[in-house]
Structure 1
Amino acid sequence: MSTTTSHTSEPDRPAEGPVRSARLIQNESTTEIPVHLLFRDDPDPAPVALKPAVVGRRHGTGEQPRLRRPAATHRPVPRVDPGLAERPARVLPGAAGVLAGLCGAAGCAAVSWWAGVLPPLAVEALRLPLTSGAGLGPAQWAAYAGAGALGLFGFGGLARGRTGRAWVLDLFGRYRGTVRRSGLLWVNPLLLRRRVDVRLRHWRSEPVPAADASGVALRVVVLVVWRVRDTARAVLGVEDHEAYLRECVEAALARVPVETPGGTRGPGGAAGETLTRLVAADAAPVGLEVYSVQPLRVEYAPEVAAAMNRRRIAALDAQHRASVLTSVVDSVEDTVTRLTMRGLVELDDYERKVLVKDLTVAFCSGRGETAP
């Protein structure tokens, strides 16, 4: 019997269509997005600046509140003419003015001798030759004017400079310089001189309105240590630099809370540092240098003084009573504990309460207090 082995050939597989290079995701709008683009590795991803989400908060929705930028709190800085700055003025030593004045006086005497109007006694004293003189003509008057002008300019420009004082020179409204030298000087007499005190100065103010951190009205007396650093800006930059400084102090006190009377840090504290910084910043553009602004005396305003004093006295009284009561309780506890530990008495709860009450009354009476 022969076994016939039949080789059954597998049916031919249908021809596959074109092979896709990448899988695709197709959405409802027939927009195809390659999958490999969603998961590709970018070696150097470009940074993307993300802005904070800004949404409006609606009650009960759980949405985040709207982000707001903080409002600008910078105050405008006072400015003056940038070209206005102190510079030294051109002056001469006093000897030059004295010499010019003497020359003018000698010239007047010589013209008088030339014109023949010099008294004989003066001619003999000066040992000048006698002359009939040419008389007072135009030439003599011109010589008189020149010699007199020289004498006036020489003697009229003499000035005495002092240490700690300065002159701001002004010619027809134009700044011509500052004189800080001391001794005998000659300054052009046509220049307008304005004396300025450049020494270190202290100013004690009158009671100025202020407020504490709670808004209670106060009256504060401050001590300001300052000096004029730039004379040109202090004299020409503002109308009155001393009044300007006072207004700066008042404006700073209106913005800075001051410690109430009897505070832990005293009348000054942190308020003095803040006041110094604010006043120095406001006064620097006008040539003033402020070293210190310290409150000396702080008191309540008259309209709230009576109420605040009663409140303060009540607080002090409550604090004193609390301290006395704490001391009494500690003494009673120590006494009862010692009596019990040494076995001097055996007390139940009722007797312990009675003993504590009696000891409290006794200790409070000894301290001048009434039993609670």
Structure 2
Amino acid sequence: MEQIREVPAFKVNGFAVLIILLALAIFGVWEAWHSIQGLAEVLGRSIRVGDFFGDDITAELGATLGATLIAVVIPSVSGFFTVEPNQAVVLVFLGRYVGTVREAGFWWSNPFASKRKISLRVRNFNSKQLKVNDAQGSPIEIGAVVVWQVVDSAKCQFDVDDYEEFIAIQSETAIRALAIRYPYDAPDESSIPSLRGIPDEIANALQKELQSRLEVAGIEVLEARLSHLAYAPEIAQVMLRRQQAKAIIDARRQIVESAVGMVDEALKRLSQQQIVELDEERKAAMINNLLVILTSDQNAQPVINTGSLYT
């Protein structure tokens, strides 16, 4: 397929051309009217209608000249067009691309060339919520927002049929391709990247994937981020319970580790400050009591010992 790249088109300031065409139109109308008046007075006889120019011109030639000027001015009017900021106008003459005008303003170009306007403004594409399987085979729902902009008007106009529809289809395809490469969640976020665990890296990967697909259409992807990420409804409750169980286990692990550290610190301080001498049995009892108090979900109820352990 022939690759077409954007090139600047020939253009002239529209106001300058407008003044010239108005002058030609006025002169042509005056010349035609003056010639017709002369023909009406003396039909078939050469007369001077060139007093304004100082030349001898027959009435017939004057009428022809006026009609010719008018015939030139009328089609030239279609050569005027305006370009708004962040807009491009693609010119096509006899089926051939002849260039693009990007500069904002009032311009005149080939009046026989068709003019197609293309927006260069930054736009968003909000994908639908797609249902796909992640890297572990779990069904998930995923969606993304893509920020894009046309950077080559010729490519987006001639290399693809409908560039907006092309963006929509390729964006959804890239999202699906990304989703099957990563799991939704991972037990150890530091070793296994996941869609939920590394959002910035996922956004960069999605942007690169989209850029490689949309470059053929002259589109630049400015940003791409996931806008929706969740388990599919049929497994959402099960996965929620799994996440809750994992959170409880992690919390318990942290509580136990902290409790063991506190008990160890307490025993060391008792020994260093020689507050009380504890044998192994009393240390075991103390450790048991402290761990029960520190790791219990409910407040511990004190039990008063009215006797000695060694009576």
Tell me the TM-score range normalised by the shorter chain: 0.7 to 0.9
Using a 3 Å threshold, how does the CA distance of structure 1 residues 182 and 343 change in structure 2: closer, same or farther? closer
Q: Distance between the aligned counterparts of 1:301 and 1:147, measured in 2?
A: 72
Residue in 1 that maps onto 2:45: none
Residue in 1 that maps onto 2:184: 260
Which of 86, 90, 99 is 2:10 aligned to? 90
Q: Distance between the aligned counterparts of 1:183 and 1:317, measured in 2?
A: 65
1:217 aligns with 2:139: yes
SS in 2 for 1:362: helix
* Pair member with larger Rg: 1
Gaps of 5+ in 1: 1-79, 118-127, 129-133
Q: Distance between the aligned counterparts of 2:300 and 2:71, measured in 1?
A: 96
Which of 139, 143, 160 is 2:82 aligned to? 160
Q: Distance between the aligned counterparts of 1:102 and 1:370, measured in 2?
A: 103
Which of 323, 344, 349 is 2:276 aligned to? 344
CA contact (8 A) 1:99 1:154 kept: no
Q: Which amino acid aligns with 1:115?
A: I
**1:41-80 to 2 correspondences below 5 Å:** 80=1
Residue in 2 that maps onto 1:270: 201
Identity among equivalent positions (%) equals 24
Offset at 1:186? 0.5
Offset at 1:204? 4.1
Which of 295, 302, 306 is 2:226 aligned to? 295
Question: Cα deviation per residue 1:140-184 (whole Å; 9 max; x = unaligned)?
Answer: 5x6665343333234332212233211111234332221123222
1:313 aligns with 2:244: yes
- Which protein is richer in helix relative to its size? 2
Q: Which amino acid aligns with 2:118?
A: V
CA contact (8 A) 2:31 2:62 kept: no
Q: Distance between the aligned counterparts of 2:239 and 2:19, measured in 1?
A: 69
Q: Distance between the aligned counterparts of 1:150 and 1:369, measured in 2?
A: 99
SS in 1 for 2:184: coil
SS in 2 for 1:329: helix
Q: Distance between the aligned counterparts of 1:209 and 1:248, measured in 2?
A: 16
CA contact (8 A) 1:259 1:266 kept: no
Which of 334, 356, 369 is 2:287 aligned to? 356
SS in 2 for 1:289: strand
For these two proteins, the number of residue pairs brought into alignment is 272
Higher relative contact order (CA 8 A, sep 6+): 2
TM-score (ref. length: structure 1): 0.62
Q: Distance between the aligned counterparts of 2:267 and 2:227, measured in 1?
A: 51
Q: Distance between the aligned counterparts of 1:236 and 1:215, measured in 2?
A: 40
**1:1-80 to 2 correspondences below 5 Å:** 80=1
Using a 3 Å threshold, how does the CA distance of structure 1 residues 96 and 261 change in structure 2: closer, same or farther? farther
CA contact (8 A) 2:156 2:219 kept: yes
Q: Which moved more, 1:355-364 or 1:258-267?
A: 258-267
Q: Distance between the aligned counterparts of 2:299 and 2:70, measured in 1?
A: 95
Question: Cα deviation per residue 1:266-315 (whole Å; 9 max; x = unaligned)?
Answer: 55233233322222222222222334433344333333333222221221
Offset at 1:105? 4.1
How big is the alpha-carbon RMSD for the aligned residues of Structure 1 and Structure 2? 3.5
CA contact (8 A) 1:328 1:363 kept: yes
Q: Which amino acid aligns with 2:9?
A: A
